[in-house]
Structures are given as structure tokens and as C-alpha cells.
Structure 1
Amino acid sequence: MRLSRTLIAAIGLGATAPALAADNPLSVHVLDIQSGQPSPGIEVQLEKRTESGWESLATGITADSGRISALYPDDRDFTAGVYRVTFETGDWFAEHDTRTFFPEIPVPFEVTDPSQHYHIPLLLSPYGYSTYRGS
């Protein structure tokens, strides 16, 4: 029986089923560099830039591993263009009784080859962050 990526993400298996997520072209991972631990429970929004502005494509929540292994929607073709993932970090920090300077972190990126996998890691602390193209 094959589970859909949506069902896998909903029940939290995304981080433990990398082979199933391999079909999805986009993943994210958030690590709290202050504690050295993954950051579960962060909402991540995915959008694509169009001629009329940003189009919302998907929203996910990081799993216990701090990952969303399959963020791109199953029912859409992955095409070249400019995308943006926005990490909603303010609520996560508030839940951990920590003040932050960054209530959200938007990360725009360009897809030039839709046949590749795109991974966006976020290294997070209350007053700084870093990101890069992962694998």
C-alpha cells in the first residue's frame, strides 16, 4: 500500500520515511543552534512568485526531527521560478519563553532545474540565523 506524501506528513512519518519523500522536490530542516537540537513545531509556508505577486502553495509543520521532508504539493508540477519558504519562528520562540528579533524568516530561492531536489536548512537562534542550499 502506498501512502500519499500528504498523509505521511500529517501523521509525522516524513522524517522517518526518506525514501517516500524522495519523490518530493522540496524539503526543509530547522535546527536551534543555541541548544543544538532540532526545532519541531515551526510552521513553514511555501509560495511561488507570479506576475501578480506571491502565490501560496503549501504549509507544513516541522516534525520532531525539525524536518518537513515533502513540502511541495503533490498535485502540482515543480517548475522553474522563484519560490519562498517562510519560517514562522515567532510563535515557536514564544512557546519556549524566548524573545526573538525575527518573528518570521522568509527565504527566497530560485529553481533553475526542476529535476533536482531542493533542500532549505535553517540554523536558528533568537537573534540570528543562517541558511544555505542543502542536499
Structure 2
Amino acid sequence: MKTGITTHVLDLTQGKPGAGIKVELWEITNSTRTFIANGLTNEDGRVETVLLEKVEDGEYELVFLVKEYFQRAEGKNNFLTSIPIRFYTDKTQVHYHIPLLLSGWGYQTYRGS
């Protein structure tokens, strides 16, 4: 069984995984952000390392730094630069997978499995 916080990115415009995207995980406490970990999506669009090993009760923010990805992929798209996703965790749930479905002009996310 998987544990912790994990993520991956799919590029809907190109119909392939979003490779080479830097992802940061922050913990939010009383409106203060504390850096936890970062990773880079691989050729399958997945951050291979678990960003947080043990889930506790709390609020977190995943930030997908997509500006360079779009400049490489499309050459000129500067609309989205970073995508923050804030979510709450409950320590009774051992795994949170937060995927990002991405296009040049928008995005969608959900709690994955």
C-alpha cells in the first residue's frame, strides 16, 4: 500500500505525461508556509520520490512550476507560471495522490488513488 503524498502531471494538450516539471510541497500553519520537499517529474510525468512520508492532520500546498515546461513545449506560452493546489490531510488516510491535468490555458486536479 502506498503512503504519504505523491503526484503526477498529464499534459492534455499534447496527450502525454508532463515531464521535467519542478514540484514543491509546503506545509501551511496559521497562514505561514514552510517548505517540506521538492521533486521533478520524470518521463512518465511522476515525481518518483514520496514528497511526504507520513501523513498528519494538516494543510499542505503543492506548487507546480510550469513556466519553463510551457516555454520548452510550446515556445511562447506565458499564461500559467505556477499552479498552487492547497488541500487538507487527515492522518487516518495514509496516502494522498494529487494529480494535475494540464493544458496551456487551464488545469484540473482531483484526489487520485
Runs of 4 or more above 3 Å deviation: none
Identify the structure with the greater strand proportion.
Answer: 2
Larger radius of gyration: 1
Aligned to 1:110: 88
Scaled by the length of structure 2, the TM-score of the pair is: 0.89
Deviation at 1:122, TM superposition (A): 0.5
Q: Which region of structure 1 is more displaced relative to structure 2, 97-106 or 82-91?
A: 97-106
Query: Does residue 91 of the first structure (1) align with residue 68 of the second (2)?
Result: yes
Residue 73 of structure 1, CA deviation: 4.2
TM-score of the pair, normalised by structure 1: 0.75
Considering only aligned residues, what root-mean-square deviation do their CA atoms show, in Å? 1.7
Q: What is aligned with 1:63?
A: 42
- Confirm or deny: 8 A CA contact 1:81 1:112 kept in the other structure: yes
Secondary structure (helix, strand or coil) at the match of 1:68 reads coil
Bigger proportion of residues as helix: 1
Q: Number of residue pairs matched? A: 112
Tell which deviates more after alignment, 89-98 or 41-50: 89-98
Report whether the alignment pairs 1:31 with 2:10.
yes
Gaps of 5+ in 1: 1-18
Amino acid at match of 1:103: T
8 Å Cα contact 2:55-2:90 kept in structure 1 = no
